[in-house]
A and B are shown apart, each in its own frame.
Chain A
């Protein structure tokens, strides 16, 4: 069974640009969550999508947005990039019912110059 697939693996952008990251969940998983990981803050929850609807949201500014498609694939968009957005962005999928484990993809490492 294929795992969670994230693309691209690496991205280099400059301040002010925008970026879109993609995540394909494990087959049969309907929930996709996004996290930001930095050395200083650890893993921080961005948002979760289930059945094309945002079900949970973390404490990030509106520049961070996402969506989910009918096949459960998800995208995350960050607009007006700032230096502080440099991080590893991780996507995790689960079946979507309460208290089920999440499985992570390899992540997208975003560097802002």
Chain B
């Protein structure tokens, strides 16, 4: 069973701090990794994706991959109250490139 695991949280960080969200995956051969943000009552919104060849930075968001330990991280710098949401990690496993397996999400709370 190929799995994606996330700590459900809540992860609480003060406004302006760095939020660090992690996700572990079971298939060493996985090639693509996605982070989605989901506000309560809304659908998931894609915020970052990376491939097995490297990390990516986009504004306040950085996605990092540690292939040896099989985890992917999302760092949110200068956290804002509007970042408070559930962050879903999704992985495309080997042999199922067009199918995403999601973690259960980490709830982030940014406090004033």
Residues of A near any B CB (own CB < 8 A)? 31, 33, 35, 42-45, 48, 50, 55-56, 58, 88, 90, 92, 94, 96, 98-107
Which 6 A-B pairs rank lowest in CB-CB distance, beginning with the nearest?
A98-B97, A99-B32, A43-B102, A42-B104, A56-B99, A104-B43
* Cβ–Cβ contact B46 & A101, under 8 A: yes
27 residue pairs of the A-B complex, CB under 8 angstroms, read A33-B100, A35-B102, A42-B102, A42-B105, A43-B90, A43-B102, A44-B102, A45-B99, A45-B100, A48-B98, A48-B99, A50-B98, A55-B98, A56-B99, A90-B43, A94-B98, A99-B32, A99-B51, A100-B98, A101-B34, A101-B49, A102-B34, A102-B46, A102-B100, A103-B46, A106-B42, A106-B43
Query: What A residues does B101 contact at CB under 8 A?
Result: 45
Name which of A31, A33, A98, A105 has the most chain B CB atoms within 10 A of its CB. Answer: A98
Name which of A35, A44, A45, A102 has the most chain B CB atoms within 10 A of its CB. Answer: A102
Q: How far is the CB of A67 from chain B (nearest CB, A)?
A: 17
CA distance A44 to B90 in the complex (A): 11
Looking across the interface, which residue of chain B has its beta carbon closest to that of A95? B98
Total A-B Cβ pairs within 8 A? 57
Residues of B near any A CB (own CB < 8 A)? 31-32, 34, 36, 42-46, 49, 51, 88, 90, 92, 96-105
Looking across the interface, which residue of chain A has its beta carbon closest to that of B102? A43
* Cβ–Cβ contact B44 & A90, under 8 A: yes
Q: Is the interface of B mostly helix, strand, loop or mixed?
A: strand
CA distance A58 to B2 in the complex (A): 12
CA distance A63 to B1 in the complex (A): 23
Known: A33-B99, A44-B102, A45-B101. 9 other contacts (CB 8 A): A45-B99, A56-B98, A56-B99, A94-B98, A98-B92, A99-B92, A104-B45, A104-B46, A106-B43
Query: What B residues does A42 contact at CB under 8 A?
Result: 102-105
Residue in contact with A43 in the complex, picked from B44, B49, B96, CB distance below 8 Å: B44
